[in-house]
Structure 1
Amino acid sequence: AFNQSTGATTAALGFLVVNQMVSVSAASYSTESLAAESIVAAFGVQLATVTEVAASVPLPLALGGTSITVRDSTGTERQSPLFYVSPSQVNYQIPPGTASGTALIYANNRDGLLAAQTVQIANVSPGLFTNDASGTGLPAALLYRAQADGTLTIENIARYDSEQNRFVAVPIDFGPATDQLFLVLFGSGLRFRSSLSAVTCTLGGVDAGVEYVGGVGGLVGLDQVNLRLPRNLEGRGEVSLRLTVDGKAANAVTVKIK
């Protein structure tokens, strides 16, 4: 209920909520749904009284006096591991074990002020990180080149151009016919895909072989997608990369092919 004199609302928490917040995928900024163990960014006001970054793993459950609690569809409450807190933004992980369905998420800062919202938790909520953290454009990715003699090299597909003050594409060069190229994308909300065959990816409408989708060891909430790039992409220039997981589309990104 809304309190006209204070501007506050009382949610299903059973106590007063002073502020509202919006939680989105930290990779795609989608508000459609969130997945257990995914990385989330919450935006609001007075979410924290200080700005602080987590300095160790396991991530803290309270940072700068702020905590985030998720009450899932079974009524179970869990505190979220925190990456970063500030008055207007908190980056956190949906706790492991959070059940699918409608969840209530609430933040509590050092002064006791509360912000809350309801979200949908799904098995997957695919999002791809991008170089400029906008959710569009060039993906946060690495190119692995396997040569015929067994040499494996790692290449960037983007670089920062200080004159343009932005990231620009480094075209993917397929090289000799014996080279095999693998594109590794980084995202979140992907790891609980039903099966590898339920993940598809196209570049400029051309199917790419999906070889792995899962978590990145040692990095909380981060997932990766390993793609084998087909040679019939050679010479295509800038193409749109579209990833689908269990029928759900991730944010579209672009790569450039020489």
Structure 2
Amino acid sequence: MRALAVLTVALPLASVLLAEAPFYSAASIVNAADNQPAMLAPNTIATIYGKNLAFGTKAITPDDIRGGTLPIVFSGTGAQVLIGSWYATLYYVSPTQINFLVPPGLQPGTFNLYVLVNGSAGPPIPVQLAAASPALFQLDAENAVATRADGSVITPAAPARPGDVVVLYATGLGQTTPPVVYGQLPTQAAGLAQIGDFSVLLDGLPVDPRAIAYAGIAPGFAGLYQINLTLPGSTAANPELRIGLAGLLSPPGLRLPVQP
């Protein structure tokens, strides 16, 4: 009878634990810039959507960055992301979403990704990492995030002009020189290691590389890259904007607000 009583208690408990295990899928792991499932790359900001991903909701604050070290867990949330044998640093966690940084020390290949909540693991999802996975951050569904040299945001109501210096923001541009240090907030500029293979395309045409003053880490923001670009004098109105690295292009369809 005692064994039966234990079994009677254990079965509902097991059901509760199973119901509360983290749940997500390959289709719900996306590049945070464009929100599209695709190959990721080292030092890429990514997002996991799912259920039971954390006990609570927490976004990173300056207090969470101690001695320049980024957190791999937020107190009280229980959530961690493991890729291969590396814990990802975290930007945001909630029961339905986690924003994290793919560890920069990983090399291209396939790695199992797990979400752990208080040590309880969700399903292993094979994640393919490429050398690059370029994606531009979006202002809205149609336009890329871009600023002028003075930091003011470029919008359809306040467009750029041909000849302006603009700053684009991206993730997924891979290794830099010097390399990014795992777990550390970058404090200085670091250009793309594959800068010779990097391109900016306006309406499908590559911009003269000499117009790209800088492409690399945005200091003070882990996983964020910036591209400082002088728009050609011939830039048309609201051109489609894409970036490319190592033969891979950011998704089509985004535009840069420009009025000649």
Provide the TM-score with structure 2 as the length reference: 0.74
Offset of residue 27 of structure 1: 0.5
Q: Which residue of 1 aligns with 2:198?
A: 199
Matches within 5 A, 1:143-154: 143-144=148-149, 153-154=150-151
Q: Which residue of 2 aligns with 1:66?
A: 79
Matches within 5 A, 1:37-52: 37-52=43-58
Q: Which residue of 2 aligns with 1:177?
A: none
Q: Does 1:172 align with 2:160?
A: yes
Offset of residue 170 of structure 1: 2.2
Structure having the higher helix fraction is 2
Structure 1 Cα separation of the partners of residues 124 and 100 of structure 2: 14
Structure 2 Cα separation of the partners of residues 155 and 231 of structure 1: 21
Offset of residue 111 of structure 1: 7.4
Q: Which runs of 4+ in 1 moved over 3 A?
A: none
Offset of residue 123 of structure 1: 1.1
Work out which of the residue numbers 109, 123, 128 in structure 2 matches 1:101: 109
Structure 2 Cα separation of the partners of residues 247 and 69 of structure 1: 28
Offset of residue 118 of structure 1: 1.1
Secondary structure of 2:238's counterpart equals strand
Q: List alignment gaps of at least 5 residues for structure 2.
A: 1-14, 176-191
Q: Percent identity?
A: 27
| Structure 1 residues 201 and 190: alpha-carbon distance in aligned structure 2, compared to 1, 3 A threshold | same
Offset of residue 101 of structure 1: 0.5
Q: Which residue of 2 aligns with 1:254?
A: 255
Secondary structure of 2:24's counterpart equals strand
Indicate if the aligned counterparts of 1:108 and 1:115 stay in contact, CA closer than 8 A: no
Secondary structure of 2:196's counterpart equals helix
Secondary structure of 1:186's counterpart equals strand
* RMSD between aligned residues: 2.4
Secondary structure of 2:107's counterpart equals coil
What count of residue pairs does the alignment treat as equivalent? 214
Q: Which residue of 1 aligns with 2:23?
A: 19
Structure 2 Cα separation of the partners of residues 20 and 93 of structure 1: 17
Secondary structure of 2:256's counterpart equals strand
Q: Does 1:142 align with 2:147?
A: yes
Matched residue type, 1:32: A
Q: Which residue of 2 aligns with 1:186?
A: 169
Indicate if the aligned counterparts of 2:22 and 2:115 stay in contact, CA closer than 8 A: no
| Structure 1 residues 213 and 182: alpha-carbon distance in aligned structure 2, compared to 1, 3 A threshold | same
Structure having the higher strand fraction is 1
Offset of residue 169 of structure 1: 4.5
Matched residue type, 1:70: I
